[in-house]
Amino acid sequence: MSKEQEAIEATIREQTGNESSASGTAENTPYAMIETQHELERLSVVGEGAYGKVYQVQNKSNKEIYAMKVITIKPEEKHFLENEILILKTSKSPFICKMYQCFESVEKVYLVLEFIPGGDLHSYFDKVEVVKENHAKFFLAEILLALEYLHNNHIIYRDLKPENIMFDRRGHIKLTDFGLCKLNMYEGAKTKTICGTLEFMAPEVIKGHPYGFSVDIWSFGVLMYEMLTGEKPFSGTTDAELEKAIVSGKVTLPKILSRVAKELIKRLLTRATGNRFSIAEVKESTFFSGIDWQKMLLQEIEPPIRPCILNDRDVSNFDEEFTTQMVTHSGGKSDTEETMINSFENFDIQLS
């Protein structure tokens, strides 16, 4: 491990936060108890992407519930996986998903994560279409604190979207999926990689210009707009049309938006990066007046919604597109020749 990497991890560990797990506290589910993915029974599919699938799993011995992300290893994408593991294993933010163990086989990596039973924000949008402003203010405040934590640790998220925002059993939010994060973004640093989800991508990213933390603020603005209106601020029938709209199209602010919401969205979705609000300025905006940020950070403010969760194995808050899939169990040569990673420090992470 390089000195630079050690410094990053030390910085992250200095942050404090509430560590929750599938059953309540991280202390109840020490990752050392899980020595192989074969100790976990796969119950349901709860997510899927280009990387692979996410399963709800249960420890066969103590019956604890986790999520397990099964990732097919692609050499050209290894650095994305390494970044994700680094963030998951060192984060102390209450608004970032926790990881308890990781191990690998010849072809796959298995991340054992806390199971977040309330589903994602995308599914919530499908149910309510438009989020009440006082509810949106709460969700957005917690999302902002998650972004602030990452930025304070020199990390650009680059993938803020409803599918990556989960609700825990109390109704607090958790960010997931850190494969596109850019680390080592110290003061004044810029990057040029074009990545993310197009609808939430900042114009400077699309144009291939050097960019910094403000791209997350743009994505936050798109998310806020969608939350309060039920629509995205930019649209197009093709990717090319959507890119053109994001780069040069006009943002229409519907009458449904309050004055303070309109004022903030204008400062979030400005193409002049120098005029785009910083996280500190967003927190001080009129839209967030009355928010006790310290209590919000400590999760002392009651969430406006509490997900309906019948029992520890309940997956009703997840999209049926996933939960109705046949569960594939481990098997094959690549799984049986699994190399366990019993200590996180044994995972060779090289930061770019």
Question: Does the predicted TM-score (pTM) go above 0.75?
Answer: yes
* pLDDT value of position 17: 37
212 and 279 part of one domain: yes
290 vs 310: CA distance, rounded Å? 34
pLDDT given for residue 338 in this prediction: 53
Poorest-pLDDT segment among 74-78, 120-124, 150-154, 277-281:
74-78
Same-domain status, 315 and 192: no
Residues 133 and 255 both lie in one domain: yes
Residue 26 included in any domain: no
Greatest mean pLDDT among 81-95, 220-234, 337-351: 220-234
Q: Is residue 200 part of a domain?
A: yes
Asked if 21 and 33 count as a contact pair (C-beta separation under 8 A), the reply is: no
In a domain, 275, yes or no: yes
In this structure, the answer to whether residues 62 and 158 fall within a common structural domain is no
Give residue-wise pLDDT tens across range 178-221: 999 999 999 889 999 999 999 999 999 999 999 999 999 999 99
Residue 15 lies in a domain: no
**Residue 337 belongs to some domain of the structure:** no
Evaluate if residue 272 carries a pLDDT over 50: yes
Give pLDDT, residue 37. Answer: 85
User: What string of DSSP letters covers 215-283?
Assistant: HHHHHHHHHHHHHHHSS-S---SSHHHHHHHHHHPPPP--TTS-HHHHHHHHHHS-S-TTTSPPHHHHH
Instruction: Sort strands 65-72 and 52-59 into parallel, antiparallel or unpaired.
Output: antiparallel
207 annotated ligand binder: no
Q: What is the pLDDT at residue 344?
A: 44
- What would the pLDDT profile of 227-253 be if each residue is shown by its tens digit? 999 999 999 999 999 999 999 999 999
The answer to the question of residue 187 being in a domain is yes
Report pLDDT for 15.
Answer: 40
Specify whether 40 is located in the same domain as 173. Answer: no
Mean pLDDT of 91-110: 92
CA dihedral over 113, 119, 122, 123, signed as positive or negative: positive
* Same domain, residue pair 87 and 232: no
Whole-number Å distance between alpha carbons of 79 and 74:
10
Residues 191 and 254 both lie in one domain: yes
- For residues 202 and 269, membership in a common domain is answered with yes
Q: Is 258 a residue whose pLDDT tops 70?
A: yes
Regarding whether 191 and 70 lie in a shared domain, the answer is no
User: Over the stretch 47-78, which tens digit does the pLDDT of each residue have?
Assistant: 998 788 999 999 999 999 999 999 998 888 88
Overall domain count for the chain:
2
Are residues 267 and 155 part of one domain?
A: yes
Widest CA span of the chain, in angstroms? Answer: 60
User: Looking at the domain assignment, is residue 22 inside a domain?
Assistant: no
**Can you give the residue range of the structural domain that contains 258?**
119-298
Do 164 and 225 reside in the same domain of the chain? yes
Residue 72 sits in a domain whose CATH number is 3.30.200.20
Kindly state whether residue 85 falls inside one of the protein's structural domains.
Answer: yes
Locate the DSSP E strands across 50-107: 52-59, 65-72, 99-104
Percentage of residues in the chain with pLDDT exceeding 90?
74
62: left (phi over 0), alpha (psi -120 to 50) or beta: alpha
CB-based contact 279:147 (threshold 8 Å)? yes
On average, the pLDDT of the chain sits at: 87
Catalytic residues, by residue number, are: 159
Rounded to 5, what percent of the chain is helix, strand, coil? 40, 15, 45
Alpha helix ranges (H) inside the chain: 3-14, 78-90, 121-128, 133-152, 203-206, 214-229, 239-248, 259-268, 279-283, 293-297, 320-323, 333-336
Say whether both 74 and 154 belong to one domain.
no
